[in-house]
Structure formats: C-alpha cells, structure tokens
Amino acid sequence: MGHRKHLQECCRLYGRCGQIDINIKRAIDDKIIIDISDTGKGIQKSKIKDVFLPGYTTKARGWGLGLTLVKRIIEKNHDGKIYVRNTEINEGTTFRILLKS
C-alpha cells in the first residue's frame, strides 16, 4: 500500500488526521508550478467551478472567501493562475498554482 493510501486508511480507522504535500517545480517554459495536495474529503466534480466564487462554502460557519482571496492575490498581484488540478471524493484534492518566474 502506498504511503498516501496507508495514511487515508489510518484516518478512516482512527479518526481525524491528514497530510498536506507541497511540491514546487519549474516547467520547461520557466513557469513555477506549485502543487498543493491534501488528504481531505475532495470536491464533487460539479462543484469544482464554484469553489473560487465569493460566498460559496460547505461549512456551517464558513465565509466562502478564502479561495476567492487566494485567487485574487495570485491573479491580480502576481499575474498567475490557480485551479483544481485533481480531486477525488474521500481521497483528496490537488490545487495547482502557476507563477511566472
């Protein structure tokens, strides 16, 4: 069993825990790629387009502003991009950030 799968199985058996991996690399075109992967609950495919919208939250006391602010800073202040690269229900999500070097 891979490290990640093993962790997910432990979380399922023993309760709340998780891992966030951050992977930074440089693309051939010199862009900086930052992948942020979690072992969270994942995002429904039909909701991927909603997560960056202001006010969208699935939390009881959420504001739905976190990702809106992140996207704004990356796009307006750094001329970059952020998007959901991959997500699987009950497995986790990877966000990708692209920055010019």
Ligand X SMILES: Nc1ncnc2c1ncn2[C@@H]1O[C@H](COP(=O)(O)OP(=O)(O)O)[C@@H](O)[C@H]1O
Enumerate binding residues for ligand X (CB under 6 A). Answer: 38, 40-43, 51, 56-59, 62-68, 93
Residue 64 or 80 with smaller CB distance to Mg ion: 64
Shortest separation between residue 63's beta carbon and Mg ion, angstroms: 8
Could you give the CA distance from residue 51 to residue 43 in angstroms, rounded to a whole number?
9
Strand partners, 94: 37, 86
Could you give the CA distance from residue 47 to residue 45 in angstroms, rounded to a whole number?
5
Shortest separation between residue 71's beta carbon and Mg ion, angstroms: 12
Residue 25 or 59 with smaller CB distance to ligand X: 59
